[in-house]
Amino acid sequence: MQFSFDVQGMDALHMGFRNIPTRTKPFLVKAVEKTAYDVKNDAKTNIQNIPQAKRTIGRLGKLANAARYDKPKILGEVIETKVEFHGAQARLIGVIEHGSPTSGPKWPLKRAGEANEENFTEGIRKAIADGIQ
């Protein structure tokens, strides 16, 4: 599971990432990292809040604690980061996120991403403002 934020896709910027001043880039990377951190934490909380039978609570707890995010990297026109799950219960995330024939999707990661969209946009605005000072 990964979220990548495509700088080109943001209407507010109206420019390719290569055209952004070099001194602004670290601020943008920081803004992306902040969002990745928040998405990771929200995904963890969302998983912990899923109502489950007692037998699966322990597994979900381990899964929630296995949430990690990658430090953002600049790859051509995008800044890429990932929110992932590691450890023995990592396989569970697919079932919880997308559901199975016997249980519906819970979308903990999707919801976490959606919940942070506004803050992400605001973070990018601030990063650009900080970068041109």
Partner 1 sequence: MASSKRALIQNVLEHIRGEPLFTELVHYGSVPNQESTDAPLPAPYIVVHSDLGPDERERVTSEVSTRTDVSISVMAVGVDADQALWWADKLTARLLDYKPVVDGWQCSALRHVGSAAVQDLTEHTPSVHYTSDDYDLTARRT
For position 42 contacting partner 1 by CB under 8 A, the verdict is no
From the list 19, 22, 102, 133, which residue makes contact with partner 1 (rule: CB under 8 A)?
Answer: 102
For position 98 contacting partner 1 by CB under 8 A, the verdict is yes
- The CA-atom distances, in angstroms, between 86 and each of 38, 53, 66, 82, 120 are 18, 23, 5, 12, 25
Least spacing, CB of residue 105 vs partner 1, in Å: 5
For position 122 contacting partner 1 by CB under 8 A, the verdict is no
Of 94, 79, 88, nearest in space to 1 by CA: 94
Residues that bind partner 1 (CB under 8 A): 94-95, 97-102, 104-105, 107, 110, 114
